[in-house]
Each structure stands twice: as structure tokens, then as C-alpha cells.
A and B are shown apart, each in its own frame.
Chain A
Amino acid sequence: MPQPESTGLQDRTADDQYAGSVRAGLDALDTPVNSAQGSLLRRIVGKVLPPIAAIVLLVLVWQLLWAAAFWPEFKLPAPVDVSSQIWQLVTTGKIIELFWVSVHRAVIGFAISLLIAVPLGLAIANITVVRRGIGPLVSGLQSLPSVAWVPAAILWFGLNDRAIYWVVLLGAVPSIANGLVSGLDQVPPILPRVGKALGAGRLGGIRYILLPAALPGFLGGLKQGWAFSWRSLMAAELIATSPDLGEGLGQYLHNGMSLSDISMVFAGVLLIFVVGVGIELLVFRPLENSVLRARGLTRAT
């Protein structure tokens, strides 16, 4: 044991020092140990390798099925044809236009949804009358496929961006609002009480306790809201095709169908998948992970 250095320590009675060292020992024993993780390279390899292997396997099976000619060529394209289709989009730069048209619509639609859904969610969670009145409606809307709104939207707004945004909003707003409501509902009741005991007023309690406590549930809602807005957008683009609307991924897919070009259709599906998953992986996953990790709620990924 190190010798006490300061005079203050020596002043204490032996009893006190003993109790102090018991406390220090308890603290040392009790503190959870963060298990040492492998090197960065190893962790990245461990995370990236399994999905790559799965994709390689999938393409392999596809290639084999194609080579065995189970289905005619116009039903199952060769992997090579699909990849050259995509490569062509890349070299001509058309892929940028496709991505831009679709992604910027999805992002704007998502942003507007957010602006509507947050006040809506707050109102449902905090005001009993609103919860009883609108709550079931919003939950119900969540299970209504938003593509069902496309015909109505086209009749109301015509073939234009407004129709598309309408469909996206009806897809995303319920999920985001519901996520916020369930996030707020799951806040342990002890936390607002503690907040009140610590001197939080009504607004302070919302700002400093309720909203941060609801963040994990809200992020879940955001993630789902993004998935819904992307899905709704693709449905809308697929159905509402018109030269005025510009060509997004949905229209590209639609064109593939019209041209009976199965490799184009496959390329379209692949690109839609890549964008949807990519935004989830690049934006929402890191956001969610950092929030959960800070709270000690990490899950295995």
C-alpha cells in the first residue's frame, strides 16, 4: 500500500482510513470492466466479411440458376447483364440523375414529415383528449399501405411532385409520430419525478428530462419513418410516371417494365435496395448506436 502523503490523511484515525480503503476497494471491484476489444482492423474485418460472403454466395447461386437455364432469359437475367446495365448508368452519369431525383424527394418528404410528426407526437403523448381521439387513427394509418393513396393523390393534385409528397407524408408521418409517442410512454415514471424533485418546472422537465429520455424510442421511429418514406416514394414514382416529373429510380424501374427489359428491372430493384440500405447504414445506424452506447444499451451488431 502506498504511504499516505498529505498530512490530512495522517490526521485521520486508523478506523477512518480502514473504512476509506474498504470503500476504495469496493469501488475498484464494483466498477464494470470494459472488455478489451481486438484491433480496429480485426473488428472491421469481422463486421464486413460476413455480409460480403453472403452477397457473394447469393450471386453465385443466381449465376448457377441462370447457367442451368431454369427460367428463360427474359425472366431471369444473367448477373453480368445486370451489372453492365448498372455500369452503363454509371459511365453515362445517368445514375447521378436517378439518385438525385429520388433521394432529394425522399429527404424533403422526410423533413416535412418530421416537422408535422413531432408536434403531432408531442400532442398525442401529452394531451389525453388528443391521444384518445387521434392516437388510434395515427396507429391505424401506420398499417395502411401509403401506396393506396396514390390514386387519390393523382386525382387531387395531378401528376406532379405534390402528389408524390402527399404519399410520402402519409407513409412517414404516422411512423415518426408513433415512435415519438412510444418513446415518451416508455420513459420510466421515476425520471420526471426526480426531475421535479430537482426543481424542474413544466418546460424544464420536458426539455431536460422527457425529450432526452425519449430519444432512443424516437430514433427508432425516425428509422422506421425513413424506411416508410422511401417505400412510399418508390411506390409513388412507379405509378405516377410522367415526363414532367423527371426520372427517378421508380420511373427507371417502370421504364424497364415497359421495355420488357428484365436486366433493367433487376438493376432498378438493386439500386433502390442499395439507396434504402445505404442511408440506413450511413445515417441512422451510427446515430442510433452512438445514442445507445452512451446509455450503456448497446446491442450486438
Chain B
Amino acid sequence: MTATVEAGETTITSGTEVRPVRFHQVGKAFGHGQKAVVALDQVDLDVYAGEFVCLLGASGCGKTTLLNLVAGLDQPTSGRIELSSSRPAVVFQEPALMPWLTAAGNVELPLRMAGVPKAARRAKAAELLELVRLAGLGDKRPHELSGGMRQRVALARALASTTDNTGSGAGKPSLLLMDEPFSALDAITRDVLQGELLRIWRATGTAILFVTHDVREAVRLGQRVVLLSSRPGRVVRQWDVDDLSGAGETDAVDEINAELRKVISSHAAA
């Protein structure tokens, strides 16, 4: 790590620090035999508590697959993933709100399925809607909200699904998984939501594993950018991009862009 300015912080965090996610040579293949598609191969990736990691890669390189493995929606074919966080909150590319529920109803849904009593559910949903700046819009239906607002409801719902507050997850570090959550939004909305996400990250202190194919977005948001190669997906390189600004940020974007291009064009040759 190249953290030289904040040496104080890195010394505390060295060695024994909690890592919500640890990959151990994780591989994932779809299908069997000759026709098997190897999506991920020998991936080693750790996310530290409270860290914001951006996973960068070309389309089809296995980013979604990797996130699904962490979320427990799919199982690795080799290696293993050590998860020491509470249940991860997952935000998908589409908001995928339940159309029969109001915004507040959607946020309450994971709490309802966990058997949280009604009054507590209400309070928690109101608090989370407030966090994503949608207070007062709880009784709107998904179709009455804009794309950006829907994605914020999805974020609030995902945060409600973590087991942070209930017995099993209490005391464990929390983890937020996001799969290109802003890629379907227009540029201005995306810009605003990136700012909102950074604010929420600082407010909640959760670790975030954020998937994107947009280098600029990765550098703006992340503390660390992890580049994944394509077919099979492997970790190619990592950059520490914490607290960059101005020229430093532009340089990092250029450098990562060049590397990404190199990874992509290597496929043309093969």
C-alpha cells in the first residue's frame, strides 16, 4: 500500500485487522467439461472493514459473478470465500423494487421477512429513507419515482437487509455490495448519486465492494481500485486511489485506463 501521509492509520490497521471478505483462490466455472466457461480463476481479494473497494473490468469479465459469490447467491467451484461480516447488503444494477409495495414497504420487506415487529420496522424504514434523502416519499409507489430515486430506495432496502441490528450480525463489520448500480442512470443523476453514496459510506462506516466498468467512477469513489482481467477473470493489478484530487486523480484515471485497454486488447491478439 502506498499510504504514506496517514501513516498513523495504516499502522493501526496492519496485520490483525478484521476483513469482512477474504477470497482464497476462488474460481468459478459455468457448465461442465469442454463447454465450461471459466468466469473466475484463482481470485484473491480482501476487503477491509470500512474500506471502499472498486472492482473494475470489461463487460463479461466476471464482476457480477464475483459479487454473486460474495452475496451467497451462487457457490464457487474452487477455493473458498471467508465472510466475516453481517449479511451483506446487495444493490443490483436495476433497482428491482417490488412493484406492489410502496417505497417504505420495499424498505420494510427484508425486516418483515426477518420477523421484526411492525413498529420497529416502520421506524427503521423511515430512518433509512431519511439516510438516502427520501424522507416523506415513503408512500410513493415505485412507478411514481424517478430512476435515481428508485435506486436510492433499493439502497435503503439493501441496508435494511443486513443483520447488523438483529442478533446474528450484531458486532460484525457490515458490507455493502453494489453491481454497477448507477450505470443505467443519466450523467447528472449518476454524479449526484455518487456524491450521496460517499456521504452514506462516511455516515455508516460500512465496507463497500463496488462493481463498475467506468474508470472515472472507480477512481472517484474508491479507496482502492482492483482491475479484473477477462475470461478467465483474474486480479490483474490494484491501485490505491484514496484521497486523490485534481491532477493526481486525472493521472490515476489515465494510468488505469491504459492498463484496462491493454487487458482488453490482449484478447484481440489471442
Separation of A19 and B73 alpha carbons in the complex (Å): 36
CB neighbours (8 Å) of A188 from chain B are 96
A281 within 8 Å of B by Cβ? Answer: no
- B90 contacts the other chain (CB 8 A): yes
How many residues of B are counted as interface, with CB atoms below 8 angstroms from the partner's CB atoms? Answer: 34
Cβ contact within 8 Å between A19 and B195? yes
Q: How far does the Cβ of B179 sit from chain A's closest Cβ, in whole Å? A: 10
Contact B147 A295 (CB under 8 A): no
- The 8 A CB mask of A285-301 against B (1 = contact, 0 = none) is 00000010011110000
CB within 8 Å of B: which of A174-208? 188, 190-191, 193-201, 204, 208
Chain B's nearest CB lies how many Å from the CB of A244? 47
Whether B144 contacts A296 by the Cβ 8 Å rule is yes
Could you tell me the distance between the alpha carbons of A98 and B110 in the complex, rounded to whole angstroms?
A: 51
Tell me if A197 and B141 are in contact (CB < 8 A). no
Contacts of A199 in B (CB 8 A): 87, 110, 113-114, 161, 163
B100 pairs with A31, CB closer than 8 A: no
A204 nearest in chain B by CB position: B113
Question: Does chain A have a CB within 8 A of B12?
Answer: no
In the complex, what residues of A have CB within 8 A of residue B196's CB? 23
Using C-beta atoms within 8 Å of the partner chain, give the interface range for chain A.
20 to 34
Residue of A nearest to B97 (CB): A194
Chain A neighbourhood of B258, CB < 8 A: none
CA distance A138 to B141 in the complex (A): 36
CB 8 Å contact bits of A25-42 with B (1 = contact, 0 = none): 011001110100000000
Kindly state whether residue B247 has any CB partner on chain A within 8 Å: no
User: Cβ of A291: which chain B residues have Cβ within 8 Å of it?
Assistant: 100
Docked CA distance A190–B97 (Å):
10
Interface positions, chain B 176-202, Cβ under 8 Å from A, are: 188-189, 192, 195-196
- Report which of A23, A34, A296 forms a contact with B192, defined as CB distance below 8 A: A23
The DSSP consensus for interface residues of chain A is helix
Interface pair B142/A296, CB less than 8 Å apart: yes
Report which of A27, A190, A198, A295 forms a contact with B157, defined as CB distance below 8 A.
A198
Asked whether A208 lies within 8 Å of B143 as measured between CB atoms, the reply is: no
A197 pairs with B161, CB closer than 8 A:
yes
Q: When the two chains form their complex, are residues B100 and A215 in contact, meaning their CB atoms are under 8 A apart?
A: yes
The answer to whether A30 and B157 touch across the interface, beta carbons within 8 angstroms, is no
Residues of chain B within 8 A (CB-CB) of A209 are: 98
**Contact assessment for B109 and A30 in the assembled complex, using a CB-CB cutoff below 8 Å:** no
- Assess whether A22 is interfacial by the CB under 8 Å rule: yes
**Residues in A whose Cβ lies below 8 Å from that of B100:** 212-213, 215, 291, 294-295
B140 to chain A, nearest CB (A): 8
Residue pair A191, B96 in contact (C-beta under 8 Å) = yes
- For the complex, give the distance between the alpha carbons of A212 and B98 in Å: 9
Q: A19-B195, A295-B100 are in contact. Are A197 and B147 (CB under 8 A)?
A: no
Q: Kindly list chain B residues whose C-beta atoms are within 8 Å of the C-beta of A193.
A: 73, 92
Are A198 and B94 interface neighbours, CB within 8 A?
A: no
Contacting residue for B143 out of A195, A200, A201, A296, CB 8 A: A296
Q: How far is the CA of A190 from the CA of B179 in the complex (A)?
A: 13
Residue among B92, B158, B161, B188 making CB contact with A26, cutoff 8 Å: B188
The residues in A between 1 and 53 inclusive whose CB is less than 8 angstroms from any CB of B are 19, 22-23, 26-27, 30-32, 34
> Are B113 and A198 in contact, with the CB atoms below 8 A?
yes
Known: A197-B71, A199-B161, A200-B113. A22 touches B96 (CB 8 A): no
Does the CB pair A208–B113 fall under 8 Å?
Answer: yes
Contacts of A23 in B (CB 8 A): 133, 192, 195-196
CA distance A160 to B7 in the complex (A): 91
Query: What are 6 inter-chain pairs, A to B, with CB distance below 8 A?
Result: A23-B133, A23-B192, A26-B188, A197-B92, A208-B109, A296-B143
Sample of 9 further A-B pairs with CB below 8 A, known A26-B189, A295-B143: A23-B192, A30-B146, A31-B145, A193-B73, A197-B73, A198-B113, A199-B110, A213-B100, A296-B143
